[in-house]
Structure 1
Amino acid sequence: MAIYSKEDARRIMEKALSFSKADTCEVNLSGSESGNIRYARNTVSTAGYRSNQNLVVQSSFGLKSGTATIDEFDDASLEKVVRRAEELAKLSPENPEFMEPLGPQQYDESKTYVDATANITPEFRAQVAADSINPAAEKDVTAAGFLDDSNGFSAMMNSKGLFAYNKSTNANFTVTMRTNDGTGSGWATRDVTDVAKLNASMASKRAIDKALMSRKAQAIEPGKYTVILEPSASSQLLGNMLFSFNARNADEGRSFMSKEGGGTKLGEKIVDERVNLWTDPLNEEVPSSPWNGSGQALKKMNFIENGVVKNLFYDRYWAKQKGVDPVPFPSNGIMAGGDASLEDMIKDTKKGILVTRLWYIRTVDPQTLLYTGLTRDGTFFIENGKIKYPIKNFRFNESPIIMLNNLETLGQQERVDGNLIPYMKVRDFTFTSLSDAV
């Protein structure tokens, strides 16, 4: 059994802690049960089920720490893993940035678990594959996709009296559709906490439509264009931007958030005033654990408000050095959107490009947050409010900061990888060269 109740998890960790002889000891216990189905060339290729459990012990003597893991929880095994962690701690060098475990914390009630998702059956997974493969075959399109669903828990206890427990569920679906003449490609992804919100058939239709629309793409000249970015196109760029909000990197002059001559951009306006970005573990659409790997409670917090930087992330060590309260890295990201649908945004565009997805994104300059990458799986030219024809993929060079300063329209939000991201219409997005890849 990989899923332990709160009471059973507490009992196992209390037993492990009872064997500790270290100055401080922290125990993390986790388990998951997950199923999956994969298909390619319009045929299911693999299907499986996994069950895993793991206990991690970190023992510390002064500034020295050692870690050991085990997946057997009888008394002898628990004592063995604690002894091993202590042996490793005594052999380890001192860590000058070591922080003692936290004491007892107060956490909000989690919203990350849904029974229906935990009880997904093999028959359900097979139907998801069928709902993707059958319509693809009817349209002379080849489908390749993957559904992975999971039900798990995480628990933490330490010698300072902290105890945390959370159960969660998730289902991830992704599909690529390629036309059989090799000239068109479409793609869609969905991730949900509650499987009742997963419509794999609709996602597959969206990918099929993109594949058929993108056949025999035409080449147009690279340059600066107005673009409509679907949420899956902008999510990684926004995530990379969020990483630059690390206070230590900013204080040490190593990030975009560093000011020339010293200091940070905290409190400064860096993007369009319509941009609001925050985290909220209790959001109904993208719930996340109410605590992190250090046992810190996670709360709703703004990072950009009306274009202004409101908070930076401070880990416990750096917060102590600076004499401020720690600010944990967020467990999700939510960007405010608008009422406009994708169709509305296309109709309101005289000349531009619709981008389904960006991939192979790499850093060019961390100080300016300049990134490069490629479009993929459906790139289309828009003229006078209509999609006119598919175009060949581009390489881009762009910064999310510049992108969010060139914002024209914010559209409706979609969940992408546990985050809520809106459709965005942006002017002067920089495409630098063509790519022949479909």
Structure 2
Amino acid sequence: LAPENPEFMPAIGKQTYRPSPTFSESTAAIDPAFRAKVAADSIAPCRGNGLIAAGFLEDGQGFYATANSNGNFGYQRTTNFDYTCTVRTEDGRGSGWVGRNLKDAADFKADQDIRIAMRKATESQEAKALEPGKYTVILEPAAAAGLISFMMNFFSARSADEGRSFLSKKGGGNKLGEQVYDPRVNMHADPWHPDAPVLPWDNEGMPRERIAIIENGKVANLDYSRFWAQKQAKTAKATPGNLLMSGGEKSTAELVRGTQKGILVTRTWYIRMVDPQTVLLTGLTRDGTFYIENGQIKHPVKNFRFNESPVIMLNNIEELGKPVRVAGDESNFVMMIPPMKLRDFTFTSLSDAV
């Protein structure tokens, strides 16, 4: 009894895919001994310093294949590597975190990375309460990734054209080509990026390509589904699989040294939507939030709840650091995101979280 789907699109025809470097020999070679050493290198230093470590090492290898009755076929091997570790003080008053999302396991050193989480756990004890309000912040890449990846869910041309997006234009249409962000904001997708490669096709089998998403703060491309592209007389393009944001050359530590007063945020967590029209998000800081004064970490501060839009955030840039590979907690994007120094970041209340 169901009517025909008016938006049905037939399976795509035969495509040509340029292979991308999604397979790493060093990651594929991970064995139980490697995993045990990562666990030992994470736990032993913490135990020796009265700290408690808990985390995950998730790795794998496999393949993806796509085929249909119109003659299209694609096959590619893949590997994945993701490490996270939370370190707590024994009394539970201090917490630190470190995460690594890498292509090659050969680039990973757990015994070095765990020191980051250990230091933050130790130094985040005796946190002081600051009044909620607008502050200059430095978001570490993992902290910025959660907000930015959420924003990318709203780059659908259809939702913009139908008035359901922050990229909708008053009176109809979308903001393609318009200045929406600070001119220093540049993002693109590239399935062949050497440090963040992804499959050369999307979920419909459309061939991916290197594509600009934001150029000098202007919206360069929106995501047109095959149906919506046909309806709007546009060219359909594959959905991006990674998000690569440009930045500068400074590390997070160097951004801190150049900050007179501000707050360093290690992570953002439990991010949820408040208003889709402005991409206003709410969430919490966690695992190490610190007050900066005269270019130095002065003392830990209690965690905050924030209400902030990544669109506004990316219009309040003071400085961008060097991009690093990260994975958003609730997204499928592989991302290269810089640490960010931002003004007027909105903290609305204090949080009892550690």
Question: TM-score range with shorter-chain normalisation?
Answer: over 0.9
Q: Secondary structure at 1:333's aligned position in 2? A: strand
Instruction: Tell me which residue corresponds to 1:312.
Output: 222
Q: Aligned AA for 1:345? A: L
Deviations 1:80-131 (A, max 9, x none): xxxxxxxxxxx97532211111111111122000122112110000000000
Q: Does 1:363 align with 2:273?
A: yes
Match of residue 21 from structure 1: none
d(CA) in 2 for partners of 1:216 and 1:180? 14
* Aligned: 1:121 with 2:37: no
Q: Is 1:380 aligned to 2:290, yes or no?
A: yes
Equivalence for 1:428: 344
Q: Give SS of 1:374's match.
A: strand
1:293-304 map, 5 Å: 293-304=203-214
Please name the residue that 2:199 is paired with. Answer: 289
Tell whether the 8 Å contact from 1:191 to 1:198 is kept in structure 2 after alignment: no
1:12 aligns with none
2:175 to 265, 273, 295: 265
Q: Classify the secondary structure of the residue corresponding to 1:320.
A: helix
2:167 maps to a residue whose letter is: M
| Greater gyration radius | 1
Shift of residue 209, structure 1, vs aligned partner: 0.8
8 Å Cα contact 1:312/1:327 also seen in 2:
no
Answer yes or no: is 1:188 the counterpart of 2:102.
no
Q: Which residue of 2 aligns with 1:150?
A: 60
Partner of 2:50: 140
SS at match of 1:412: coil
1:311-337 Cα distance to aligned partner (Å, 9 max, x none): 000011111111111122210001001
Amino acid at match of 1:139: N
SS in 1 for 2:339: strand
424-433 or 411-420, which moves further after superposition?
411-420
> Residue 434 of structure 1 aligns to which amino acid in structure 2?
L
CA positional deviation for 1:203: 2.1
Asked if the contact 2:209–2:238 (Cα under 8 Å) also holds between the matched residues in 1, the reply is no
**SS of the residue 2:47 aligns to:** helix
Residue of structure 2 in register with 1:250 after alignment: 160
Which residue in 2 is equivalent to 1:20? none
* 1:394–1:432 Cα contact (<8 Å) kept: yes
- Provide the rounded CA distance (Å) in 2 between the counterparts of 1:211 and 1:93: 59
- Paired residue secondary structure (2:321): strand
1:219 aligned counterpart, secondary structure: coil
What is the CA deviation profile of residues 126-172 of structure 1, one whole-angstrom value per residue up to 9, with x for unaligned ones? 00000000001111100001111110101111111111111100111
- Aligned partners of 1:406, 1:252: CA distance in 2, in Å? 28
Equivalent runs, 1:96-245 vs 2, <5 Å: 96-245=6-155
CA distance in 2, matches of 1:199, 1:335: 25
How far 1:202 moved relative to its partner?
2.1
Deviation at 1:182, TM superposition (A): 1.2
Question: Which of 228, 234, 238 is matched with 1:328 structurally?
Answer: 238
Describe the superposition over 1:184-228 as per-residue Cα deviations: whole angstroms up to 9, x where unpaired: 000111111211122222221111111011011010111100000
Aligned CA-pair RMSD:
1.1
CA distance in 2 between partners of 1:271 and 1:101 (Å): 37
Q: Is 2:165 the counterpart of 1:277?
A: no
Question: 2-side partners of 1:407 and 1:280: how far apart?
Answer: 24
The one-letter amino acid paired with 1:428 is: D
Matched positions, count: 348
Q: Does 1:437 align with 2:353?
A: yes
Aligned partner of residue 125 in structure 1, secondary structure: helix
Q: Counterpart of 1:419?
A: 335
1:347 deviates by 1.1
- Residue 430 of structure 1 aligns to which amino acid in structure 2? T
Whose relative contact order is higher, 1 or 2, with alpha carbons under 8 Å and at least 6 apart?
2
Do residues 349 (structure 1) and 287 (structure 2) align? no
- Per the normalisation by structure 2, the TM-score is 0.96
Quote the residue 1:71 is aligned against.
none
Among 248, 251, 258, the residue aligned to 1:338: 248
Residue identity in the other structure for 2:343: R
Uncovered stretches (5+) of structure 1, i.e. residues with no partner: 1-90
Q: Is the 8 A contact 1:187 1:207 kept in 2?
A: yes
- Tell me what 2:305 maps to: 395
- How far apart in 1 are the matches of 2:112 and 2:279? 35
Query: SS in structure 1 opposite 2:324?
Result: strand
2:331 aligns to what? none
Match of 1:70 in 2: none
